[in-house]
C-alpha cells in the first residue's frame, strides 16, 4: 500500500511538472499593454520586448509621457530586468518624456501576462 501511494504521488508530481509552462526568450517577446483608469486621469503602459533583447517602454500619464529603450534579460524564470540606455542628449532629462527610473523588474505571470509595478499588462496582438 505504501509503495502504491509513493508511486501515485510520483506520477502526479511528474505530470504537473511536465505541464508547467516554460517561458523562454522567444515565448515572452511581443507587445504588452494596460490602461489604468483613475479618478482624475488615466495611465497607459506599453512594453515591447524584442527577440534581440531590446525593448521599448512607454508610459502615458496626464502631464507627460516618459519613455525609454534599452536591453532586457531574464533573471531566473519568473522575472525580466529592463535596463534603459542612457540618452546622448543631456537636455532630454529636462523633458516630460524622460524616464527617471532607468532600471525596472518585470514579473512574468504567463506568456500573455506580465506585472509592471502594480499593473498587469496583457499581450497585445
Pick 25 or 37 by higher pLDDT. Answer: 37
Compute the distance between CA of residue 70 and CA of residue 27 in angstroms, rounded to an integer.
19
**Does the structure show a pLDDT above 80 at 71?**
yes
For residue 92, pLDDT over 80 is answered with no
If pLDDT is split at 50, 70 and 90, which confidence band does 19 have?
Answer: very low
How confident is the model at residue 56, as a pLDDT?
Answer: 94
Mean pLDDT of 50-55: 94
- CA quadruple 48, 50, 56, 57: dihedral sign: positive
Q: What integer pLDDT is reported at residue 117 of this predicted model?
A: 87
Which residue in 19, 23, 36 sits closest to 78, CA to CA? 23
Examine the pLDDT at 13 and tell me if it is beyond 80. Answer: no
Percentage of the chain surpassing pLDDT 70?
69
Domains with residue ranges and CATH for the chain:
23-124 (2.40.128.640)
Say which residues have a Cβ less than 8 Å from residue 67's Cβ, sequence separation at least 6: 56, 57, 58, 59, 97, 99
CB 31 within 8 A of CB 48: yes
pLDDT for 54: 95
Does residue 19 or residue 105 have the better pLDDT?
Answer: 105
Distance CA 30, CA 46 (A): 11
Region 17-27: what's the mean pLDDT? 58
Amino acid at each position: 500500500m505504501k509503495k502504491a501511494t509513493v508511486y501515485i504521488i510520483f506520477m502526479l508530481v511528474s505530470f504537473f511538472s511536465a505541464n508547467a509552462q516554460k517561458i523562454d526568450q522567444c515565448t515572452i517577446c511581443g507587445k504588452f499593454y494596460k490602461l489604468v483608469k483613475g479618478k482624475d486621469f488615466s495611465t497607459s503602459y506599453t512594453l515591447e520586448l524584442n527577440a534581440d533583447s531590446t525593448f521599448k517602454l512607454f508610459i502615458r500619464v496626464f502631464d507627460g509621457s516618459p519613455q525609454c529603450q534599452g536591453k532586457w534579460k531574464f533573471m531566473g524564470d519568473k522575472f525580466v530586468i529592463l535596463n534603459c540606455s542612457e540618452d546622448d542628449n543631456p537636455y532630454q532629462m529636462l523633458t516630460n518624456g524622460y524616464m527617471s527610473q532607468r532600471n525596472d523588474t518585470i514579473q512574468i505571470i504567463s506568456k500573455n501576462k506580465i506585472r509592471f509595478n502594480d499593473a498587469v499588462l496583457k499581450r497585445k496582438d
